[in-house]
Structure 1
């Protein structure tokens, strides 16, 4: 689960799952392609796609050549940073957004940890967090995703010096 790579879920849904289900549900007149197109989707955070670890210096993986970096606020392409120059000029509001998102993710992580704490197979240990690694549990994957987003956003906040002590001088 430490891999920075994600499964291309839309490809597998459109090319594998929907055609198989369409053969079954087509008998009753359901159009799964149209249903899937109309279905609302959550907006994926751009910063979650950015790797938390050091860049691929050896250029051994294809992601080095094709991974695009986007501003975590407006989504514009950026060369090296996590925040574009236009957003970076907004200073205090950018810091507020980044810290607000971090706070939201921390609350979500606490909520997921509370769910795992009540699970019989959660093996809850306060000092080291949740030790559950059940691949059959949807909360496990959600917890991994939120943890990765939180690490990535915390790294960005540290790189941009968006800490409470640093922001005192802005106001």
Structure 2
């Protein structure tokens, strides 16, 4: 949120371009709703400074600590730690403390983040204060055509709930049509002539993520003071940590797509 405000002020005050600031904000809002923003920009951190029983009001991060202790007591935060969380999609009447979740758990299980919560509670008012002096209706920044498309990841079966009863079928990597049950081909028959282009696009995306991962990994190595050792940092209060985890998952997803083309298996058979 701070990056959006600072970016807007930079364009308005330094670059003297209100139009550029408006386009920047609309693009960021669109990226938020389309799940293109890095999760590190959505993480909220709060201190776990005393036993849960001493908190008078129900706190989102304290409820999350209790759930994390149920899942894995060894890795759950303890008193003195800062607890990082994001707000996830849940029932309509669910309160914020019921929707707090560990960002790593969200990444691993593809749990949808409540982007509307961030838009309404974190962006709308600050953007209104910044833009009310330079445009007649600042609310158009968070409403309009750029907010009509919303993307949500499909939760994994390990998340439980109704997902345990969902039957997942493979999709064509080109047109996204569902493939017949049991089919593991990369593309459908209609997209077979374009298979080489689809494969090249996925390779390009994987290379892009590899480049980002290399930069983030090097940054973490420099932070820990050694360029020759593996990164051992697990600071959940650091945005780079979540960037590293997110791009690592993106790399795994890209590799899974490439594996569906069966090129490695074909080479092994030839040998």
TM-score by length of 1: 0.61
Q: Secondary structure at the match of 1:8?
A: coil
1:141 maps to: 242
1:67 to 1:89, Cα distance in 2 relative to 1, 3 A: same
| C-alpha contact (below 8 Å) 1:124/1:130 kept by paired residues | no
The correspondence for 1:18, drawn from 123, 131, 135, is 123
Distance of 2:167 and 2:118 partners within structure 1: 23
1:114 maps to: 218
The correspondence for 2:196, drawn from 84, 92, 98, is 92
Superimposed CA distance per residue, residues 76-117 of structure 1 (whole angstroms, 9 cap, x where no aligned partner): 343466855233442222222222222221111111101111
Segments of structure 1 that go 5 or more residues without pairing to the other structure are none
| C-alpha contact (below 8 Å) 1:95/1:162 kept by paired residues | no
Distance of 2:266 and 2:171 partners within structure 1: 27
Q: Secondary structure at the match of 1:12?
A: helix
- Residues 1:35 and 2:135 aligned together: no
- How many residue pairs match? The answer is 154
| C-alpha contact (below 8 Å) 1:70/1:77 kept by paired residues | yes
TM-score by length of 2: 0.42
1:4 maps to: 109
Distance of 1:163 and 1:145 partners within structure 2: 26
1:46-57 equivalences in 2 (<5 Å): 49=153, 56=157
1:21 to 1:72, Cα distance in 2 relative to 1, 3 A: farther
Q: Tell me how far 1:162 sits from its aligned partner.
A: 4.1
1:63 to 1:5, Cα distance in 2 relative to 1, 3 A: same
| C-alpha contact (below 8 Å) 1:68/1:77 kept by paired residues | no
Distance of 1:164 and 1:106 partners within structure 2: 23
Superimposed CA distance per residue, residues 40-61 of structure 1 (whole angstroms, 9 cap, x where no aligned partner): 89xx9x9x9467xxx739x943
2:74 maps to: none
